[in-house]
A and B are shown apart, each in its own frame.
Chain A
Amino acid sequence: MLAQSIFNGLVMGGVYALIAVGLTIIFGVMKVINFAQGECLMLGMYAAWALHRATGLSPYILIVPVMTVMFLIGQFIFSLVINPIVGRPPTDFVVVTMGLAFVLVSVIQLIFSPTYQTVVTTAKNITIRLGSVSLGTPRVIACGVMIAAVLAVRLFLKKTDVGRAMRATAENLEVAQMLGVNTRRNFALAFALGVTMAGLSGLLLTPIYYVFPNVGMPFKTISMVIVVLGGLGSIGGAVLGGLIAGVVEAVLGAYISPDLAPAGIFLILILVLAFRPEGMFGKGARKA
């Protein structure tokens, strides 16, 4: 039973980690938190659902189109509401992205109505057995895609010129500017990349979860806890934080009550902040 819940937690933690990595990329480069990250996940779910409805294809085949759509949405949101407040005090970002979250939920609600939608896949009915542990295929796929996406992001940041420019922007804004890095373009790129990660997590969740306008809220709060747990700005920390959050949630859910599971994660956050404010992996891990 314990092994089962730990494995369940690890695969769910993979999805959490992916949202948190998106948040981390945005924070690493722009030094702000996107308080609409959960709602971007919701947009990803709706994008996957709409394309699935239109084409009848499995959401897993739609990964590339959905990511493209989400990247464009990210760019659009950036130029519309984030770009005007770049360079302002950080509280402006807190308020604007929170406002954005409510706008996105309301707009989706007006367009698609608050009804619950589902995406049907054959993968849902197959379970993978590992000894005494059985895991739902969609969750395992989600975890696998997370690992692939995180590796891809790392590779992008380390090996490409654009990635290097982004890291320079994250490291020291003024020096990067002096060296001719277009920091604003990097901000846009980082924001869109973060939104894309959230959207990808949304797509991976569609076979497991209902699609509805308010679906993002719990994921948003959990991903925020994770980035703080992992030390803001650290991708490795976000992945580990995500896995820990997943395990804690699953174990608490199995042994105490599923209702109380999220509260356990938040309690851990408060304890971590009290005793190790820089996050569990705040030092040593690479910055985005």
Chain B
Amino acid sequence: MTKEKPSPLKPSRLWKAGILLAFVVFLFLFPRMSSSNYIVSIGVTFCTFACLGVSWNIIGGYAAQISWCHSSFVAIGAYTGFLLFNHFGISPWISVFAGTGISAVAALIIGSISFRLRGPFFSLCTIAFAEIMRVWLLFQKNLTQGANGLVITFKQESFVNLMFRKDDAFYYILLVMLILYMLISWLLQRSRPGYYLRAIKVDEDAAESLGIKTHRIKLFAFVLSAVMTSAVGTIYAFFLTYIDPASISSMDLATRIGTMAVVGGAGTLFGPMVGALALVPLSELANVLLGSSGSGMLLYGGLMIIVIIFRRGGIVSLFSGDGAPVPALLKKLRGKGQAKNGGDSGA
């Protein structure tokens, strides 16, 4: 991705491009290195969550509007894909667009209502929407089978219907999506709306006074984010072959998606991917050590708190050095009396 940058090639930049190229090559060769389907399935999970994190980052990172309903968009994509396939035999490659359309409309509605207000209203509204979605999926028993969830049965290997004997194919599909998403994110970052979003993050009033239509820009980012999330949802569901509201439309999943970006570095291009790279293997490990009784969420919750308190810039900031304010602990050690309540707009 960075290798396409037209800017002069400084040595440090060359280094970064080299590392990135090596990483992309590694990602492409990854399934060849192991014969174990389990390892590849972790790779699939990584690509999925990296994609979801990149999508979340567009609204939650660049614009700092924390959404807790991205699991609902995953669910919309997943359920649309399954229902259209089970009832009409429509290929997921087509139903992806149906799912993204529904998600876009949903995001448009939530966004246009909640972005009129500042502060925590957006986050509150997303939680409400996520709950409506989950309850509705549970309620529509003859359509969604309620809590029992939906399954698709494997018939034969088929690219059109996204059915593969081995997970390699899913891995490559999602990897290509990840690269595509990173490109979208990169283009957004360099475009006018991208600058607007970051201006909104730093100071919404100032942004508005400069003539930025903050409501419209936030709405655009949220819809884009929802569409991207929903598309991943459809593909990921065909990888899982089983979906139910408890797993795919839960607050757990919504938080997990947010954690990827926050831990990696919210509002940065590589943050969400780095977050997924660190967290997906870590949570596999935690499941092995602690048992998958749901206590794996301790990891996500704990890391979220630790990163925000001590290193707001996430893992990425350890390398770039920017975007990370002085850790609060240091500030505390320097002098407890310092009043920091005054300025509330500083990032």
The residues of A with any CB-CB pair to B shorter than 8 Å are 31-33, 35, 81, 84-92, 94-96, 98-103, 105-107, 109-110, 114, 173-174, 177, 183-184, 217-218, 221, 224-225, 228, 232, 257, 259-260, 262-263, 266-267, 269-270, 273-274, 277
Task: Please report the C-alpha to C-alpha distance between residue A88 and residue B252 in the assembled complex, in whole angstroms.
Answer: 25
Q: Ordered nearest first, which 6 A-B pairs have the shortest CB separation?
A: A102-B301, A99-B304, A106-B298, A84-B328, A103-B301, A87-B340
CB of B240 closer than 8 Å to a CB of A: no
Task: Please report the C-alpha to C-alpha distance between residue A247 and residue B68 in the assembled complex, in whole angstroms.
Answer: 27
- Tell me the chain B residues, 218-270 only, with Cβ under 8 Å from chain A: 251-252, 255, 258-259, 262
- Which single member of A94, A99, A174 contacts B302 (CB below 8 Å)? A99
Chain B residue at minimal CB-CB distance from A107 = B298
Query: Given that A33-B123, A81-B309, A98-B255 are known contacts, is A277 also in contact with B298, CB under 8 Å in the complex?
Result: no
Task: State the total of A-B contacts with C-beta under 8 angstroms.
Answer: 154
A95 touches B308 (CB 8 A): yes
- Tell me the chain B residues, 279-298 only, with Cβ under 8 Å from chain A: 290, 293-298
CB of B33 closer than 8 Å to a CB of A: no
- Which single member of A84, A100, A263 contacts B136 (CB below 8 Å)? A263
List 11 A-B pairs, Cβ < 8 Å.
Answer: A85-B309, A95-B258, A102-B300, A110-B290, A183-B341, A221-B131, A232-B119, A266-B131, A266-B132, A273-B113, A273-B117
By a CB distance below 8 angstroms, the chain A residues around B30 are: none
B132 touches A267 (CB 8 A): yes
Mostly helix, strand, loop or mixed at chain B's interface?
Answer: helix
B301 touches A100 (CB 8 A): yes
Chain A residue at minimal CB-CB distance from B128 = A266
Interface residues on B, range: 35 or more
B66 touches A94 (CB 8 A): yes
Task: Please report the C-alpha to C-alpha distance between residue A137 and residue B109 in the assembled complex, in whole angstroms.
Answer: 42
Task: Please report the C-alpha to C-alpha distance between residue A85 and residue B325 in the assembled complex, in whole angstroms.
Answer: 12
Chain B residue at minimal CB-CB distance from A91 = B64
Task: Please report the C-alpha to C-alpha distance between residue A103 and residue B341 in the assembled complex, in whole angstroms.
Answer: 27
Task: Please report the C-alpha to C-alpha distance between residue A103 and residue B259 in the assembled complex, in whole angstroms.
Answer: 13
A177 touches B293 (CB 8 A): no
B120 touches A32 (CB 8 A): yes
B139 touches A95 (CB 8 A): no
